[in-house]
């Protein structure tokens, strides 16, 4: 939890817990419950093996307790009483048992340390009220008789509310951005020094102080044409003979809260010529339009409208640089000429999950707002409200599969194919910032603030 220990953190945490408690005190009786038991999760093993997969905690548990690496815990919420954390600390000499609970959060909870998972279940059974809702994976052991497992109404309300971050959560997300920004600077230096994707990845991990399993998502480190694979999942061990570009999408975690940051860099020794000039112009244009889109993250704005505006601005950029020609920006968008170049959504909610839950859910009851027609990958259709953290991540890529489809369509006449072909070795551009919607005025840009603090 590097960098998270702001002096106000204990007070912020208490207020955060009070807010979650108040939410549950209102919500549980509405749905006929007196208590909520939240499982941290169960460790999972590979088939026929004793090797565990990296543990992924239940985000509902992490919302209350900053323990991302503690399988087998239960948290019991009973309105009017402090949350009870049941904390297994088994004797073990194969692995280090969990350390005794410590940190800014322990004082605010009631904690019962137990010696086994069975004892944890028994402790929960002893303390739980009769009408209990349980939130956890299907295989989280639920003690006692029939209980409501993941009741839909309760989950819908909790998911909807998770989008509005408390001051405590924002503090952790600032720290997650700072941690990633340090990694990004080291990654850029490794790229400019001629590193392979694997070298850049290792430089990122070392500088951000994270092991692979602590990352909020697998690093996307694409050199050259690999930048055109949106979620390029490999890391070549060999550097290309001729470096062109780096697209790196890499985040960090702080107490379970994620940052999600993408930067695109043009190598100082990328070959001179018109393709390089085109790429540089596109990169500068994308930087400008990304900042303009970030500025639209304001209370009351429809996030889907930001996505549609991104298409409009990308159309203008493609026309200005001359990759598209002979039609207006409006016509380019309505006829679908931007979609092969920008084939994903403008962003998503961010928090305990990188693609935080309930992006299409507009109220606590679970009502959905569908995506605009023709935009199947947009992950957020809610109107923006104070406390929401979203990403803004416009992209512009040269993806052979989608370019082939464009070439076979009537729009082909509007494309300068010689120049588009020449850009394929440059892969693509994505610039992604994490942005907080404020009650009034301009948004807080967690990512740009983090980079600025490092350069100051
Ligand atoms: N890193 C995944 C995304 O940007 O959504
Ligand atoms: Mn993202
Ligand atoms: Mn990303």
Residue-wise pLDDT tens digits, 344-369: 999 999 999 999 999 999 999 999 99
For residue 357 the two structure tokens come to 């839950």
Q: Which atom of ligand 1 is nearest to the CA of 432?
A: 4
CB 415 within 8 A of CB 406: yes
For residue 293 the two structure tokens come to 């889109």
Q: What pLDDT, on a 0 to 100 scale, did the predictor assign at position 247?
A: 99
Identify the CA nearest to 25 among candidates 95, 99, 107, 81.
81
Q: Which atom of ligand 1 is nearest to the CA of 251?
A: 1
For the domain made up of 167-455, the CATH class stated in words is alpha beta
Distance (Å) from CA 332 to ligand 1 centroid: 26
Pocket (CB within 6 angstroms of ligand 1): 217, 249, 260, 354, 393, 432
Distance (Å) from CA 346 to ligand 2 centroid: 8
Q: What pLDDT, on a 0 to 100 scale, did the predictor assign at position 138?
A: 81
> Which residues, 6+ apart, have CB-to-CB distance to 227 below 8 Å?
245, 246, 247, 264, 397, 426, 427, 428, 429, 430
Q: Where are the domains of the chain?
A: 9-161, 167-455
CATH architecture of 9-161: 3-Layer(aba) Sandwich (3.40)
Instruction: Report the relative pairing of strands 35-39 and 74-77 from DSSP bridges.
Output: antiparallel
Mutate to test the pocket of ligand 1, among 176, 183, 249 (most ligand atoms within 8 A of CB): 249
Q: Which atom of ligand 1 is nearest to the CA of 260?
A: 1
Using a cut of 0.85, tell me whether the model's pTM lies above it: yes
Place of tokens 């009851």: 365
Q: Kindly state the helix (H) or strand (E) to which residue 396 belongs, with its residue range.
A: strand 395-397
Report the C-alpha gap between 364 and 161 in whole angstroms: 7
Distance (Å) from CA 260 to ligand 1 centroid: 6
Distance (Å) from CA 237 to ligand 2 centroid: 25
**Burial of 236: CB neighbours in 10 Å, binned 0-12, 13-18, 19+:** middle
Report, as ranges of residue numbers, the positions in the chain whose pLDDT lies below 70. 1-5, 141-146
| Ligand 2 ion: residues within 5 Å (CB) | 260, 391
């Amino acid at each position: 939890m590097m960098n998270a220990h702001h002096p106000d953190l204990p007070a912020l945490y208490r207020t955060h817990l009070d807010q979650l408690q108040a939410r549950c005190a209102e919500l549980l009786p509405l749905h006929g419950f007196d208590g909520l038991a939240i499982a941290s999760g169960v460790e999972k093993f590979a088939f026929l093996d004793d090797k565990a997969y990296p543990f992924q905690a239940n985000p509902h548990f992490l919302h209350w307790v900053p323990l991302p690496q503690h399988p087998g815990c239960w948290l019991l919420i009973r309105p009017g009483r402090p949350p009870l954390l049941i904390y297994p600390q088994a004797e073990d000499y194969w692995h280090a048992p969990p350390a005794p609970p410590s940190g800014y959060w322990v004082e605010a909870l009631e904690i019962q340390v137990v010696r086994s998972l069975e004892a944890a279940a028994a402790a929960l059974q002893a303390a739980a009220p009769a009408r209990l809702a349980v939130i956890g994976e299907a295989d989280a052991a639920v003690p006692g008789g029939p209980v409501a497992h993941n009741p839909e109404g309760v989950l819908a309300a909790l998911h909807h509310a998770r989008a509005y971050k408390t001051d405590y959560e924002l503090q952790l997300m600032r720290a997650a951005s700072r941690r990633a920004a340090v990694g990004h600077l080291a990654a850029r230096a490794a790229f400019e020094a001629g590193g392979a994707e694997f070298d850049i990845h290792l430089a990122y991990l070392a500088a951000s102080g994270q092991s692979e399993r602590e990352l909020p998502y697998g690093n996307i480190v694409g050199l050259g044409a690999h930048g055109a694979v949106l979620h390029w999942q490999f890391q070549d061990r060999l550097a290309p003979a001729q470096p062109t570009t780096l697209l790196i999408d890499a985040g960090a975690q702080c107490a379970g809260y994620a940052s999600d940051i993408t930067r695109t860099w043009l190598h100082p020794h990328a070959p001179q010529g018109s393709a390089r000039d085109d790429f540089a112009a596109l990169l500068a244009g994308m930087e400008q339009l990304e900042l303009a889109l970030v500025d639209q993250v304001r209370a009351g704005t429809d996030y889907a409208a930001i996505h549609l505006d991104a298409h409009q601005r990308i159309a203008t950029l493609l026309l200005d640089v001359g990759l598209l020609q002979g039609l207006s920006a409006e016509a380019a968008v309505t006829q679908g000429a931007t979609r092969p170049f920008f084939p994903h959504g403008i962003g998503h909610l961010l928090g305990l999950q990188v693609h935080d839950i309930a992006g299409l859910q507009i109220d606590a009851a679970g009502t959905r707002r569908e995506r605009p027609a023709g935009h199947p990958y947009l992950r957020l259709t809610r109107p923006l409200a104070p406390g929401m953290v979203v990403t803004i991540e416009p992209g512009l890529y040269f993806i052979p599969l989608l370019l082939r489809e464009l070439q076979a369509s009537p729009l082909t006449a509007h494309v300068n194919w010689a120049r588009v072909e020449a850009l394929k070795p440059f892969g693509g551009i994505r610039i992604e910032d994490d942005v907080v919607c404020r009650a009034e005025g301009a948004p807080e840009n967690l990512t740009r603030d983090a980079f600025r603090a490092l350069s100051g």
